Amino acid sequence: MARSLGPRMNAAPNRLATAAATFRARYEKLLLLRLAEMGERLNHEYSNLSARTGFSESWDLASGLTADGLTLAVQGPALAAWVDTTERLLANGIFDRYPDSHPARHLKDFGYFLINWADSFAGSVGGCIYPLARRDIYIQHGRARIRMDPVHSEAVRWKCVDGRLSIGGHGAAGLEIDLTEPLETESRDDGFAVAPVPQVLGVQVYSDASAYSRLACPPESPADFLRRVTDAVNSLGPAQLAFLRGTARAITVKPPPNVVSGAGKTDLQEGDEQLHPWIAGLLRVSPIRISPTALLELAARDYIERMLCLFPPEDVSAPTSFGGDLQSLLVTAGAQRLVRRLGGGGDLGVDLDDDELSQRWTAAVELLQESARSTALLDALGEQSDDVAPRSDSPGRRTGTLSPPESWRVLGVPAEAVLVKTRRAAAFSVDDFSPVRAMLRVPPAALNDEVRRQKDQDDWTEESAFYLAVAAYCVGEFPLCVKFLARCISFDSDVEEYWHLLGFALRHQKCKAAFDAIMFHGIRDLPHVSKLVEQPAGFEEIG
Amino acid sequence: MSIPWKSAVDELMLMRGKGFQVSQYLGVISGLKASIDDWIQVQQLEAYGTHLRRAGLTYEIDCIFRRLPDTHKAFGTMYAPTTRAIGLPWVAEVQISPATINGNANWEDADLGTNAVRMYKPTDEAHIVVARTQEAAADTLACAWYPVIVENRVMTCPHGDAIRLGDALGYPRCCVDFFIAHNNWPRQNQYAEAAKVSTSLDWRANCLAKNTQWELIFHMPCAFDCPATLTYSAALLEAVREYNEAYARRIEDELKRTVLVASERLVFALNDAQFMDNASVNYSSVESLQAMVRLRDPRHDDYYALLAAGNNLKIADGAVIVMQDGRDLGSLLAYADRGVAEVPLVLDFCGSSTRLGLN
């Protein structure tokens, strides 16, 4: 059983700062490997699209990057975002279904990196940018940007020879930029101008959100934002500053939400991960709350997100796990614990009291499966992993699977129609109804025949009873379904999928009280449920 | 000749305003479909029931929805992209809280998460199933389900129930099967999938007005020229025509439009659209077809503002590039990497069947 996990200063601030820098370096090395894998896969599996979008050519050119250039390249948050997006588009099959939509733009956008890295190639290099009416092109590894005003959508060609970058392409002569002194470049009438990207103690500050946001920029004055961020950074103590610098590579504006939530809440709490997905090394600061502690908490979140990439808990990636929420809980609660260790806290609207924070953290940790990875994760966060006792009997664990028996497989139920059992109180899980989905692919007449053939046998295994119950559900034989789920429960009474399918089968028989008892009141007792059923309908065998 | 149910429908329309799904109710009254589901504020339930009975209909209550603020962070919200609410059991004896009528109380005040619901807020909504008979309503209710989160666990329903529900709601089976195969927000864009397999775009299969008062069909067809949908839609329009000829004509006009759609949450009508060499489209003004939707995409207003500033657009590489008199104004980028597979498309239901955004 877990003991109290209230905040404890068991990791010195200086040690945390060192750990932040160390793990950031590891993360960036891993990013390089992920980039290489993605690039090779795209060129191999999507060769036509890669060629058509110019990605293949850009990828070849990228291999000419110097070692120092490569080190700088992986430090840029934009590359982490690009790799992450590639992985998600591939995982969701978007490259196969909609190659000419987001994937085409995504591959073309790799061209933005080449010009950004142009001063890190040994020889001359050149390429093409597809702005699609976007405004900025970053150069010098993000230290400066070329702003296009007015915006335009046509392709822009560029070339870099001996440190001189020439860029243009829509009629006018273009811009010549000396990459050793880019800010000395004179603006031209064709709308190109070079501007610096300011830094605060080595951290780049993007004063508008356009580079990293899916929402329009807020009406925040860039100069004002920079000044407020600078003041906040300068207010940090030495260990806090070391932690921030060991984590963040860049800071940008986070557009405020369209709808302001209730009093006392800040946008740090709001569920907008889809609009502002985490990008390694990038702190998105809300203009309505710029403070040393807010910066520190964002840095702590970034640190934990990296930890979760390096030591991903099994729960986060399991197919029946609702991992995103577990991750979110670990990040938000863990970050506040880290902030307290670093001596921050107290001026954030999201600051929790000790009890609430302790409860949240305990809840998150208890959901982690006991494993070497979870232990490593907790150690890296400065938590003592032995605070969490072994939980082999924890109710939330996933244990056990069932596979379709041969009699169903010959009918066309795929072998992968496996039930992954989830247990009572398995928070962050979703019901695994994949066997139902698979069974629906079998023609109803064949299902019916098989149900009739099997239903009077009496040598039931848990497996055969379950798949028969599923088939009965699919063909609308709900009393039979109830009967065979009751069998399953007699084999293993703690499988949420059994209970939930039972609930739905009872609902089809208009047994609403029994349905509510199972689904909403957590009743997991067959005799109790059967008493709520007016007409037995499958419960004949229950004592 | 005056038909008795017409005045009842008039009353329902008056009560519900623009949010009333006229064509769906008329579909049930005319026997085209067994049932529909709807949300009625608890303070309106009594009057609603009276009008409904006069129209020859009845209803069953599923539960009470207490809508969550857009910004509310709850576990599992990625499973609920369009409807987020706390579910409360329906208990007829529970009173509506007078203290909250003027909006004085916030949503945390009613023993949420317990069985002891003592008060409903007047704005709480009953999720109901409407049918001609109590039995039909109960049958539909037995297979209707929204993903529910209980104690941080997401409960979905078995897939077979979607087929049963589709049948009960009168949707063509081919479209129900298509929905089951393709309604997977992170991985597929169902409108793009339907557009891909359509040989033409028929206004009678235009479901993109479903969140406006001019909706005809609610279901997403398996193709925008699906024969079963066209038959169903024509019958539905006939039912509307029987109720109100002018209303039916207006629906027809509203469905014969050119639409920019990126996802189920980003849908805009382009007025006076003219296609230029199948590459771009000129338009005079833009109209949101999501204006009545409560949980809008946060980028909705940005999209609208840029589109309204322009008069021409083209689609390239998952971006909508907006121009004004030939000058680029900016672009609206569609994303497919975070929960919703957005694919920007322009679909013309005015007769040309032109599609931009699909190669």
CA distance B309 to B331: 12
The dihedrals phi and psi of A107, each to the nearest 5 degrees, come to -70, -40
For chain B, say whether A325 makes contact (Cβ under 8 Å). yes
CA distance A521 to A205: 51
Residues in chain A within 8 Å Cβ distance of B305: 216
- Half-sphere exposure of residue B66, counting CA atoms within 13 Å on the CB side? 20
Token pair for A125: 């290099």
A523-535 pLDDT, tens digit per residue, is 999 988 888 886 6
Token pair for A511: 């047994």
CB-nearest partner of A261 from B69, B115, B357: B69
β-sheet bridge partners, residue A420 = A401
The dihedrals phi and psi of A233, each to the nearest 5 degrees, come to -65, -45
Q: How far is residue A17 CA from its own chain's centroid?
A: 24
pLDDT, average across residues A208-230: 76
How buried is A347 (Cβ within 10 angstroms: 0-12 exposed, 13-18 middle, 19+ buried)?
A: exposed
B136-194 pLDDT, tens digit per residue, is 999 999 999 888 888 767 788 898 899 999 999 999 999 999 998 998 888 999 999 99
CB-nearest partner of B301 from A105, A258, A427: A258
Mutate to test the interface with A, among B61, B317, B332 (most CBs of A within 10 A): B317
pLDDT, chain A, mean: 82
CB contact under 8 A, A437 and B115: no
pLDDT, average across residues B80-84: 67
Task: Please give the angle made by the CA atoms of A332, A259 and B69, to the nearest 5 degrees.
Answer: 75
Q: Is the pLDDT of residue B110 over 60?
A: no
* Residue at A28: amino acid letter: E
The dihedrals phi and psi of A175, each to the nearest 5 degrees, come to -120, 140
Task: Return the closest-CA partner of residue A117 out of A81, A158, A83, A147.
Answer: A158
- Half-sphere exposure of residue B190, counting CA atoms within 13 Å on the CB side? 19
Q: In the 8-state DSSP scheme, what is residue B271?
A: E
CB contact under 8 A, A133 and B322: yes
H helix or E strand, kind and range, residue A238: helix A238-247
Backbone conformation region of residue B149, classed left if phi is above 0, alpha if psi is from -120 to 50, else beta: beta
* pLDDT for position A309: 87
Do the strands A282-285 and A250-253 form a parallel or antiparallel pair, or are they unpaired?
A: parallel
CA distance B178 to B181: 5
Q: Higher confidence at residue B262 or residue A287?
A: B262
Q: What is the DSSP string of B95-128?
A: EEPGGGTTT-S-GGGS-TTSS---EE-TT-EEEE
CA distance B90 to B92: 6
pLDDT, average across residues A176-197: 82
Token pair for A121: 């190639």
Sequence-ordered alpha helix ranges (H) in A368-495: 372-380, 406-409, 434-439, 444-454, 462-474, 478-491
CA distance A388 to A2: 5
CB-nearest partner of B359 from A100, A261, A427: A100
CA distance A499 to A369: 23
Token pair for A56: 């293949």
Q: Higher confidence at residue A507 or residue A270?
A: A507
Min Cα separation A201/chain B (Å): 32
Nearest chain B residue to A423 by CA: give it. B153
* pLDDT for position A380: 76
* pLDDT for position A34: 95
Q: How confident is the model at residue A152 (pLDDT cuts 50, 70, 90)?
A: confident
CA distance A155 to A170: 8
Contact predicate A217/A209, CB 8 Å: yes
Min Cα separation A459/chain B (Å): 27
Contact predicate A466/A402, CB 8 Å: yes
Q: Is the pLDDT of residue A392 over 60?
A: no
* pLDDT for position B109: 41
Task: Return the closest-CA partner of residue A184 out of A232, A124, A231, A140.
Answer: A140
Residues in chain B within 8 Å Cβ distance of A426: 153
Nearest chain B residue to A271 by CA: give it. B73
Least confident of A210-224, A352-366, B100-114, B130-144: B100-114
CA distance B31 to B22: 14
For chain B, say whether A258 makes contact (Cβ under 8 Å). yes
pLDDT, average across residues A374-397: 61
CB contact under 8 A, A262 and B106: yes
Q: What is the DSSP string of A346-401?
A: SS-TTPPPHHHHHHHHHHHHHHSPSSHHHHHHHHHTT--GGGS---TT-TT----E
CB contact under 8 A, A430 and B153: yes
CB-nearest partner of B298 from A275, A510, A522: A275
* pLDDT for position A241: 94
Q: Is the pLDDT of residue A363 over 90?
A: no
How buried is B356 (Cβ within 10 angstroms: 0-12 exposed, 13-18 middle, 19+ buried)?
A: buried
* pLDDT for position B153: 76
Q: How confident is the model at residue A410 (pLDDT cuts 50, 70, 90)?
A: very high
* pLDDT for position A270: 39
CA distance B266 to B285: 16
CB contact under 8 A, A88 and B318: no
Residue with tokens 């969490």: A388
Nearest chain B residue to A131 by CA: give it. B331
Min Cα separation B15/chain A (Å): 28
* Residue at A66: amino acid letter: T
Least confident of A144-153, A324-333, B93-102: B93-102
Residue with tokens 């199948």: B278
Q: What is the DSSP string of B89-100?
A: ---TTPEEPGGG
Least confident of A128-142, A267-281, B25-39, B212-226: A267-281
CA distance B27 to B232: 10
Q: How far is residue B46 CA from its own chain's centroid?
A: 25
The dihedrals phi and psi of B355, each to the nearest 5 degrees, come to -130, 125
CB contact under 8 A, A92 and B336: yes
A308-346 pLDDT, tens digit per residue, is 888 877 655 554 555 566 777 788 888 888 888 888 764
CA distance B33 to B57: 12
Q: What is the DSSP string of B42-59?
A: GGGHHHHHHHHHHTT-EE
CB-nearest partner of B187 from A92, A258, A473: A92
* pLDDT for position A384: 65
The dihedrals phi and psi of B348, each to the nearest 5 degrees, come to -105, 110
A33-79 pLDDT, tens digit per residue, is 999 999 999 999 999 999 999 999 999 999 999 999 999 999 999 99
Q: Is the pLDDT of residue A182 over 50?
A: yes
CB-nearest partner of B319 from A105, A216, A275: A105
A112-148 pLDDT, tens digit per residue, is 999 999 999 988 999 999 999 888 999 999 999 998 8
CB contact under 8 A, B71 and A259: yes
Residues in chain B within 8 Å Cβ distance of A352: none
Contact predicate A366/A388, CB 8 Å: yes
B312-323 pLDDT, tens digit per residue, is 999 999 999 999
CB contact under 8 A, B75 and A500: no
* pLDDT for position A400: 81
Compute how many other C-beta atoms are within 10 angstroms of the C-beta atom of residue B223.
Answer: 23
Contact predicate A397/A426, CB 8 Å: yes
Nearest chain B residue to A256 by CA: give it. B298
Per-window interface: A 492-511 vs B, CB < 8 A: 496, 500-501, 504, 507-508, 510
Task: Please give the angle made by the CA atoms of B62, B63 and B68, to the nearest 5 degrees.
Answer: 135
Q: Is the pLDDT of residue A467 over 90?
A: yes
Token pair for B298: 């946060």
Nearest chain A residue to B345 by CA: give it. A101
* pLDDT for position B71: 60
Q: How confident is the model at residue A1 (pLDDT cuts 50, 70, 90)?
A: very low
pLDDT, chain B, mean: 87
Per-window interface: A 384-443 vs B, CB < 8 A: 425-431, 433, 436-437, 440
- Half-sphere exposure of residue A358, counting CA atoms within 13 Å on the CB side? 11
